[in-house]
Amino acid sequence: MRGRTFSSGILASAAAVAVVQAQCPDYSTFSQQRHEPFSTGKYQLSYMRPEPACRTFNSSIVEDTITDMKSVIKDPDLYRLFENSFPNSLDTAVRWKGFAANNPMEELTFLITGDINAMWLRDSANQMQSYLTLLKADSSYDSIASLYRGVINLQARYINEAPHCNSFQPPVESGLAPTQNQQKPDVFTPDASNQTVFECKYELDSLAAFLEISTNYYEATNDIEFFKNFQWVSATNTVIATTEALLIGTYASNGSVNEIPYTWMRETTSATETLDNSGRGNPVQDGTGLVRSAFRPSDDSTIYQLFIPANMMFSRYLDSASKIMANIGNQRNLANHMHNFAGRIRDAVTQYGIVNDPKYGQVYAFEVDGYGSANRMDDANIPSLLSAPFIGYLNVSDPVYQNTRKYVLSKDNPYFMRGPVINAIGGPHAGFGQAWPMASIIRIFTTDDSHEIETTLKEIVSSTDGLGLIHESINTFNQSDWTRQWFSWANGLFGQCLLDLKERKLSTLQASYQ
């Protein structure tokens, strides 16, 4: 291990890092307490950044961005929320950074989700996306680019070892002990070692997230040499093999029950934590062209496994990753296969994923089974129906999307949570009455309406319970009733959103939210 990277660019020794870490507060506790200086606005938001020596990765370009935004964001509470949230993954979640034991050139970044000491494929890709506008080609070890490379390399390793799994333990090189997830073991196929895997819920969007972060890195840096090395090509092959095997329906043409490559059961008091039919889930039609997903990005089980938002995301990033593959050399056939596979999924989404609503017209369903059944709702996590333009699947002006957006942001969506504190999409994961600020942020990303943006920002700024961090969910009638004090993805997404507004709707950052 090379030790922690400081903004001076000097790599501290491992011994010095250990001393600093021993003196640093546990952010799980730190993030639940208010710290001075408070913001000067009405809400007096806490300052929630650790001291520089306690930050897990220091970046001068991130610090410069925070400083620059102070003259852009006029409202003191909105600025404090940006100041706390934008650097949160770097401040708190880079649990370990180093190199592979068998290749001193292969960078690895173990990026935890926040209050859970494990690395999610989806979360880590999105945590890094927070810094995408700052990403540029840079071979140095203390750069944003190095963090990206480390996350991509470690994700590739995880996917090759356990492609159906969604979250993982620290790499052996880190010297960090694995964390126990459940007291009672889960029952799933195929089996995976708990020394590598934290949880093995199969989510199509987790594999899409690997292609997403790969696309983001390549398009920002044009660093094709990186993708020629290490495990990226083999992991992409694993992604394709895994998803193609899950195109299968429940029954064969002669009526026999197909063997499927993934099942999951857990002893639990929550129905969304397990799958019925002996871990297979509800039946799905064969031959639809949609890839099954046993779980949603919320970690909740799907009702119908043909989960439309994940198929949208997978199609979009499978296609963009095919361009990386095409430029590697000697991979043209694989690149063409990826492009064609992505196109077939897009066709299937159009055929099976669009349904008619008597009030809203043609809209996207949340989940379908291929037999004609559809689950009509939206969930807060990304990918969602609301996030379809954000993930690049379609243009925000798409008429079916606009109909869908009106539906999911209305009381007709059973998981649109309303109240005097905040109004946003929620989901079964946090339960009734719990709105997710993450969904509010995506609402901002997907509109140019200044009034809608400012109304949504006001709700976010005023509902942090004085802590100045983006929580997972908030009770729509009581801002002091919230879940997850340390959720780095949501924090980074908010910072990313304000940087987007700086370029797209500057006036909204110059408004008052008092």
> CB of 108 within 8 A of CB of 171?
yes
> Smallest Cα–Cα separation from 2: which of 53, 57, 51?
57
DSSP alpha helices (H): ranges in 170-247?
Answer: 204-221, 224-228, 232-245
Residue 86 has phi, psi (to 5 degrees) of -55, -45
Give the model's pLDDT for residue 180.
87
> CB of 363 within 8 A of CB of 410?
no
Give the model's pLDDT for residue 22.
58
> CB of 215 within 8 A of CB of 324?
yes
Under the phi-then-psi rule, with left for phi > 0, alpha for psi from -120 to 50, and beta for the rest, what region is 251? beta
Give the model's pLDDT for residue 148.
98
Helix axis angle, 144-161 to 121-129, nearest 10°: 160
CA distance 460 to 441: 9
pTM above 0.75, yes or no: yes
> Smallest Cα–Cα separation from 453: which of 508, 406, 510, 401?
508
Q: Average pLDDT of each block of 10 consecutive residues along the chain (514 residues)?
A: 32 43 87 97 98 96 98 98 98 98 97 96 98 97 97 98 97 94 86 91 98 98 97 98 98 97 95 96 98 97 98 98 96 98 98 98 98 98 98 98 98 98 97 98 98 98 98 98 97 98 98 97
Strand-pair partners of 295: 301
Distances (CA, A) of 154 to 196, 222, 259, 407, 493: 11, 20, 30, 39, 22
Strands laid side by side in the 473-475 sheet: 434-435, 473-475, 478-483
Summarize pLDDT for 264-306 with one digit per residue, the tens. 999 999 999 999 999 999 999 999 999 999 999 999 999 999 9
On the 0-12 / 13-18 / 19+ scale of CB atoms within 10 A, 265 is middle
